[in-house]
Amino acid sequence: MPRQASTFAGNVDTLYLALWALTLVIMVIVTVALIYFVIKYRRRSPDEIPQQIAGAIKLESGFMVFMFIIFMGIFVFGAKVYFAQYRMPKTALDIHVTGKQWMWKFQHPTGQREINELHLPVGTKVKFTMTTEDVIHSLYFPDLRVKSDVVPGRYSYMWLEATQEGEFKIFCAEYCGTNHSGMGGRLIVMKPTDYQAWLAGNLNNLSPVDAGREKYQALGCASCHGANAEGGRCPTLNGVFASQVQLVGGNSVEADEDYIRESILNPAAKIVAGYPAIMPTYQGQLTEEELLQLVTYIKSLAPAQTDGISTNAPALSNNPSAGAPTLEGQGASNPDAFRANPIGATAPSGGGTSSTPGAGQSNGTGIRPENR
Amino acid sequence: MSAIDRTARDMPPATPGVKRIAEPRADERPGSNYLNNGYGWKSWLLTKDHKRIGILYLISISLFFALGGIYAGFIRLELLTPQSDLLQPATYNKVFTQHGIIMVFLFLVPSIPATLGNFLIPLMIGAKDLAFPRINLLSWYLLIIGAVFALGAMMYGGVDTGWTFYTPFSSTYSNTYVTATGIGIFVAGFSSILTGLNFIVTIHTMRAPGMTWFRMPLFVWAHYATSLIMILGTPVLAITISLMAFERVTRVGIFDPALGGDPILFQHLFWFYSHPAVYIMLLPGMGIISEIISTFSRKNIFGYKFVAFSSIAIAVFGFLVWGHHMFTTGQSVYAGLVFSFISYAVAVPSAIKVFNWSATLFRGSISYDTPMLYALGFLGLFTLGGMTGVFLAAIGLDVHVHDTYFVVAHFHYIMVGGTLLAYLGGLHYWWPKMFGRMYPEGWGRFSALVVFVGFNLTFFPQFLLGYLGMPRRYAAYPVDIPAFQVLHILSTAGATILGAGLVIPLIYLIWSLIGGPKAAGDPWMATGLEWRTASPPPTENFHETPVVTWNAYEYAPQEDMEVIGKTSPDDKPDRSSYSGA
């Protein structure tokens, strides 16, 4: 049994041991029955024909139902353990992972990068946002009982909470080519204070948000989406993350990481209603890491706090209210809202040149266009 | 008395009330059989006789198996030490890939259906041949052409994608002979499709008078279910492999996201075939076990219809569980739950079979002949293999053990402990029928024990390795987890024993062709139609079309069967175990 170094480990091990106990019981029953029959009913004379025995529907059906109930029990147990792993925590330390033949690259939210080595604080929820530059990999921490495939062209997520300090193995579990078995390293789980100290000693990188902002300017995104992502010829990006985006053709889509990624790499795939399809593709101009930074930057662009209303449906857009701020609400998804405004008339606000604050903060008021 | 020298003359006198069983026919022209009907190479390579084609398959897949086994030996030797010292990682990757491709596509899929199924299905249902003898021969040639491509690719430099060919590694990144191997698998797949087609048509249209569906041996039922999967599943594999090769050659985006494709789509398509394919490999083995258990305990199969329909249920449900190979790919949690649920549903018919086989032994007359030892070994190993499948179907646990040696161990328990043992058992059981010679019984029992011990020592440690976190397909593994190496050494030691246990039958079976005592038409006192003709059978199987008046496994009239849990004296046996109309 490997060490139990995460909050999942106990449950997974319990399930594992319970299943071995069940297997043992079944194996003992089958083996003992077989050995008993084989000895007790061994052939006594070469020509004997034993009394034939008919099958029994009731016995068979009973057995079927019995086995089905046992299996359902295991199914529920397994599903419960899985749900805990599947539900992402709301707040967590966000680690970016990029797989590459044959190394793991990690980046901390404060910008520190590591290759094949990862430092994490104990007792803290950590969420991994992962992708790969080439083939499918799978990030696997056996002592923490977590694993997730890392698939090119999309983001995979995984979370964990380490419960034990120490050094643990990192493996790549999905076969990825020649040096597959060399694609691993060390996970170092340390006290949160030590983690902070470790971070402080490695302050030579921009945070992903800042790096993403630099990319945003360098790649010319600002010329259409606005210097502060307030929109222009193209939709605003403020607060677009996690919102419902209205598309040409009447569909809407939730703007998650994969949507943003696709819109950068293949803008023609989903056109926001009310905008011309003028964006060029950025396929091939960005590494996966840079792409992750851009996505992180766009995620950090929150809507204006003061008028965070839900505009999921066009009908609601005429009814702005200074309700409680919500991450969901923003105007970018509402084409009507934009049409009612000359470009730039209401945005940006006077403080538009102020640098965008870090993740999770508002970037000023008045940026989100309203139709009145 | 050994069964070897029993002939028609010294068959036991029929017990009063027992219908005559399984006497060889007395009217055979002495000496004329399918083996001595022509000796030239044309009489073999252009034969349309299903029995000769079965023998062609037997020889070819034995060679493939030997080659795959040699690759397995290299894998086990390499893993004796944590470093990749015997083989470079690049070589190791080719070795495990080629082990997998040969064993799955060239050995396990054709193994039982194409050899024993081909040989026995017409005999069992009282037909002269399969429905399409020429297509049957074509199937063999397709397998050989496929093998030429696949093995040729291996000789020219090999392939390193794993037998699963996951994209985009296979379609974009691998610099090995992926396309040629893909063509080989594509062509070999058609061999499988045509065999399945042939079986289905034969079983539907060529049964002898009186051979109703519920008088058919369970071996035939299992092959019917297998053929359904072959016909419905294999084309999907052909499509998938073609698309992968197409993307590789033309760079049109299908699976590679850099070209606009979806790598997970490949996995869906691949497992849509490859999970049912596991049942292509396993179901015929289950058919063999039903025959052996009945014959060597001289009992009717307990719950005949439950066993027959469980094969069909497995074939149908088997198509609905492919997503359980993809729990960690980030597929939707609800899809995961549904796939997990159906995976448990498919475990129920397998459990039914084990239950019925065990119940058949109850109050039987059990002999310890070689085929029976293999069948008993199958029961134990398949139960453990099946139960560890239950581990893997539990999503929360699968996340940890997916892509580790736990999966490797589970798969080999089913494929080696299940299919290979059943195949060896079946080969021994029908060897006298196929070649008219008995093998040395003592050596047979000895090798069955050696295989059983070697197998367990090879693969049981891999369950523990997997839970410790040892990923599969690793050429090298960490030195600082000492348990890894200890378990790998145990596994390699077991593989040595297993290898030896497999060489012994190779020697004595070949020897028996010349030196083995001549076998009677029915050396085992079995009930099937195939035992009522000579050993080896004449070219046309039966000199006259048999008329079947008895039920499957009818050692005694069905009306005289004892009823379990009888409440009143005139309780009749219920229909689940009646075979016949």
pLDDT at B22 over 80: no
3-state secondary structure (DSSP) of residue B341: helix
Q: Is residue B33 part of a domain?
A: no
Residue A341 reports pLDDT greater than 80: no
B457 assigned to some structural domain = yes
| Helix and strand totals (H; E) in chain B | 17, 0
Q: Domains in chain A: how many in total?
A: 2
Q: Which residue of A20, A149, A257, A282 to mutate against B (max B Cβ within 10 Å)? A: A149
Indicate the helix (H) or strand (E) that contains A215: helix A208-218
pLDDT at position A276 is 83
Q: What pLDDT was estimated at residue A236?
A: 86
Residue B303 lies in a domain: yes
**How many whole angstroms separate alpha carbon B230 and alpha carbon B225?**
9
Confidence class for position A224, pLDDT limits 50, 70, 90: confident
Q: Please indicate, yes or no, if residue B1 is contained in any of the structural domains.
A: no
Residue B27's φ and ψ, nearest 5 degrees, are -95, 15
pLDDT confidence bin for B9, thresholds 50/70/90: very low
With an 8 Å Cβ cutoff, is A286 touching chain B? no
- C-alpha–C-alpha distance, residues B537 and B129, integer Å: 12
- Using a CB-CB cut-off of 8 Å, the residues of chain B touching A38 are 361, 366, 368, 376
Taking an 8 Å cut-off on Cβ atoms, the answer to whether A16 and B351 are in contact is no
In whole angstroms, what is the distance from residue B91 CA to residue B74 CA? Answer: 10
Highest mean pLDDT among A228-232, B385-389, B571-575: B385-389
**Residue where one domain finishes, among candidates A160, A185, A200:** A200
pLDDT attached to residue A205: 66
Residue A349 lies in a domain: yes
Yes or no, beta carbons of A54 and B368 under 8 Å apart: no
Q: Is residue B20 part of a domain?
A: no
Q: Dihedral angle at the C-alpha atoms of B212, B216, B221, B223, nearest 10 degrees?
A: -110
Range with the poorest average pLDDT among B192-206, B453-467, B549-563: B549-563
CATH, residue A194: 2.60.40.420
Mark whether A153 and A252 lie in a shared domain.
no
- Looking at per-residue pLDDT, the higher value among B395 and A214 belongs to B395
Residue at A206 is within a domain: no
Distance, in Å, from the CA atom of B20 to the CA atom of B26, rounded to the nearest integer, reads 14
Contact A22 B468 (CB under 8 A): no
Supply the pLDDT for residue B451. 97
State the pLDDT confidence band at A56, using cuts at 50, 70 and 90.
confident
Does A327 lie in the same domain as A230?
A: yes
Measure CB to CB from residue B166 to each of A136, A156, A179 and give the nearest one: A136
Q: Is residue A184 part of a domain?
A: yes
Query: What does the pLDDT read at residue B89?
Result: 92
CB contact under 8 A, B366 and A37: yes
Contacts for B102 with CB less than 8 Å, ≥ 6 apart: B64, B65, B67, B68, B71, B150, B151
Q: Whole-angstrom Cα distance, residue B341 to residue A286?
A: 41
Sequence-distant (≥ 6) Cβ neighbours of residue B69 within 8 angstroms: B499, B502
Q: Could you read off the pLDDT of B373-400 as tens digits, one per residue? A: 999 999 999 999 999 999 999 999 999 9
CB atoms within 10 A of CB A354: 12
| Contacts with A165 (C-beta within 8 Å, 6 or more apart), sequence order | A122, A189, A190, A191
Instruction: Specify whether the CB–CB gap between B573 and A51 falls below 8 A.
Output: no
Name, in order, each residue with C-beta under 8 angstroms of B42's C-beta and a sequence gap of 6 or more. Answer: none
In a domain, A178, yes or no: yes
Q: Does B146 have pLDDT greater than 80?
A: yes
Longest CA–CA span in chain B (Å) reads: 77
pLDDT of res. A220? 79
Choose the final residue of a domain: A200, A235, A267: A200
Whether residue B530 contacts residue B433, with contact meaning beta carbons closer than 8 Å, is answered with yes
Q: What is the pLDDT of residue A72?
A: 93
Number of independent structural domains in chain B? 1
pLDDT at A227: 80
Q: What residues are paired with A161 via a beta bridge? A: A125
Name the DSSP letter for residue B572: P
Instruction: Determine contact: A174 vs chain B, CB below 8 A.
Output: yes
Closest CA to B266 of B167, B159, B161: B167
Q: Considering CB atoms only, which of A31, A50, A147 is closest to B399?
A: A147
Question: Which SS3 state, helix, strand or coil, does residue B108 take?
Answer: helix
CB A187 within 8 A of CB A141: yes
Q: Which residues of chain A have a CB within 8 Å of the CB of B379?
A: 30, 34
Distance of alpha carbon B323 from alpha carbon B327, whole angstroms: 7
* Residues 315-354 (A) with a CB less than 8 A from some CB of B: none
Q: Which of residues 228-267 of A touch B (CB under 8 A)?
A: 266
CATH code of the domain in which B267 resides:
1.20.210.10
Chain A residue with minimum CA distance to B302: A55
Domain that holds residue B545: 50-553
- Rounded Cα distance, B346 and B386, in Å: 11
> Which pLDDT value is given to residue B578?
66
Reduce the DSSP state of residue A157 to 3 states and report it: strand
For residue range B427-486, list pLDDT tens digits in order. 999 999 999 999 999 999 999 999 999 999 999 999 999 999 999 999 999 999 999 999
Contact A19 B391 (CB under 8 A): yes
Q: Is A78's CB within 8 Å of B398's CB?
A: yes
- Over 80: is that where the pLDDT of A342 sits? no
Residues B387, A22: C-beta atoms closer than 8 Å: yes
Q: Is residue A135 one of the residues assigned to a domain? A: yes
Contact of A74 with chain B, judged by CB distance below 8 Å, is answered with yes
Domain range for A191: 93-200
* pLDDT per residue as tens digits for the range B67-124: 999 999 999 999 999 998 899 999 999 999 999 999 999 999 999 999 999 999 999 9
- A7: in domain: no
Q: Which residue has the higher pLDDT, A283 or B200?
A: B200
Read off the CATH number of the domain in which A234 is found.
Answer: 1.10.760.10
Under an 8 A CB cutoff, do B478 and A169 touch? yes
B245 vs B581, higher pLDDT: B245
Evaluate whether residue A19 is within a structural domain. Answer: no
On whether both A186 and A244 belong to a single domain, the answer is: no
Look at residue B22 and tell me if it is in a domain: no
Residue type, B252: V
Instruction: Note whether A345 and A236 are same-domain residues.
Output: yes
A204 band by pLDDT with thresholds 50, 70 and 90: low
Same domain for A342 and A270, yes or no, is yes
| pLDDT given at position B574 | 67
- Cβ within 8 Å, pair B473-A46: no
For residue range B46-82, list pLDDT tens digits in order.
Answer: 999 999 999 999 999 999 999 999 999 999 999 999 9
ipTM: 0.89
pLDDT above 90 for A293: no
Residue with tokens 């080696």: B416
In a domain, A305, yes or no: yes
Q: Is the pLDDT of residue A329 over 80?
A: no
Sequence-distant (≥ 6) Cβ neighbours of residue B404 within 8 angstroms:
A142, A173, B465, B466, B467, B469, B470, B471, B472
Nearest one of B516, B514, B545 to B532, comparing CA atoms:
B545
